[in-house]
Amino acid sequence: MPTFTHRIYNFNAGPAMLPTEVMEEAKSEFLNFKGTGMSVMEMSHREKHFQTILDESIADLRELLNIPSRYAVVYFPGGATLQFSAIPFNYLSSGESADFALTGVWAKKAFEEAKKFYPNVKSIFNGADSKYMELPTITDASVNDGAKYVYITSNNTIYGTRYKTFPKLKKAPLIADMTSELLSRKLNIEDFSVLFAGAQKNIGPSGLTLVIYDKDNLPQLSHPIPNLMNFSLMEKNGSLYNTPPTYSIYIAGLVFKYLKRKGGLAVMEETNERKAKKLYEAIDSSSLFYAPVPEAFRSAMNVVFRSHNDSLDPKFLKLAEEQGFAGLKGYRDVGGFRASIYNAMPEEGVDALISFIKEFERTNG
């Protein structure tokens, strides 16, 4: 592994690059937060400084996403994976069912977890048929009678696919895992009953998860729900039922303020689309590399590409690492390459990667 004296272009899928500006801000108040004489990490979660951090972070997020007041915004521990269990517990009673679109590893994990407790849940789409390169068009006709919700993974981190538009359903509410794209594009929150995201891509440190849900659509169920998965308990306690990941919430708050300063999600979306478009164009026009995902389903966050000559893959990765392009190796079961270009990846990082790809092709193609 090469060593660097500067920050490099980090294309990891998550934990991923955070904005340098945010890291500098955190650094400047690391030992002494706003004259308190202590780090946020050392502060009581019941104390007013932390309460202000928490309240401001939620207010800023509401503003960024234009979240209607009937939606709760709650921080959970346990990563996005905890929600694979929490959602069925909060939305299904014994014997009930829900529909899952199996568009990748994370959707399958969510489905398998729900199935353990609610064996009637159903798959309405099996992405294995297209090696997970395609996504379904979900309409009311796709929804099984009695389904309490339809579950999707909005951006499939591993395969590099995303829904360009979201299903609009009357028959069942939509629940979305938005871990790898929340805050990267504009959204209409009212298209969803629940959306959630693990923080480690566009929000902050891993282990923290944001859940946004429509309170009017949360069923009153009679079975017990484990406390740390209980939506209404966590909401009533203002994300402070137990000691939350305080420092991670602080960093998330700094990220939200940074996004507001940059002009909000419309600006993020425009920049992200431009970054992704130029990277896909460079790959599409290459004779050595290609992008396997059909254009209609291509993610703007995780750009998956492969080489026509995979014997060159180790060389490409080694050179990339030496030159300060980290995290380009594809997911272990998928192979090839993946450049994760979340909000924090500057456009210059994408430009530099494109030049690197072109130069590699020129000397090895």
Active site residues: 106, 177, 201
**Least Å from the CB of residue 144 to ligand PMP:** 23
180 touching ligand PMP, by CB under 6 A: yes
Identify the helix (H) or strand (E) that includes residue 36. Answer: none
Q: Does 179 bind ligand PMP (CB under 6 A)?
A: yes
Q: In the complex, what is the shortest distance from the CB of residue 270 to ligand PMP, in angstroms, rounded to a whole number?
A: 23
Q: Which of 81, 217, 232, 237 binds ligand PMP (CB under 6 A)?
A: 81
Q: What is the 8-class DSSP label of residue 34? A: G
Q: Taking CB under 6 A as the rule, does residue 79 contact ligand PMP?
A: yes
Distance CA 235, CA 245 (A): 16
Residue closer to ligand PMP, measured from CB, 306 or 338: 338
Q: Which residues share a beta bridge with 195?
A: 176, 212
Q: Does 72 bind ligand PMP (CB under 6 A)?
A: no
Taking the C-alpha atoms of residue 323 and residue 318, their distance in angstroms, rounded to an integer, is 9
Task: Give the nearest distance from C-beta 81 to ligand PMP in angstroms.
Answer: 3
Nearer to ligand PMP, 16 or 64 (CB): 16
Q: What are phi and psi of 302, to 5 degrees?
A: -120, 105
Rounded Cα distance between 51 and 47, Å, is 6
- Say whether residue 106 binds ligand PMP (CB under 6 A): yes
Q: Is 113 in the site for ligand PMP (CB under 6 A)?
A: no
The single residue among 57, 85, 97, 157 that binds ligand PMP, judged by CB under 6 A, is: 157
57 binds ligand PMP (CB under 6 A): no
Q: Draw the binding track, 11-30, toward ligand PMP (x: CB under 6 A; -: no contact).
A: ---x----------------
> Tokens at residue 14, please?
């998550």
Beta-carbon contacts of 326 under 8 Å, excluding residues fewer than 6 positions away, are: 8, 9, 10, 11, 12, 320
Residue pair 231/213 in contact by the 8 Å Cβ criterion? yes
From 167, 198, 327, 330, residue interacting with ligand PMP (rule: CB under 6 A): 198
What are 327's two structure tokens? 């995290």
**Between the CA of residue 301 and those of 16, 25, 26, 73, 211, what are the distances in Å?**
11, 25, 25, 24, 20
Q: What is the rounded end-to-end Cα distance, in angstroms, of the chain?
A: 25
Q: Which residues bind ligand PMP (CB under 6 A)?
A: 14, 79-81, 106, 153, 157, 177, 179-180, 198, 206
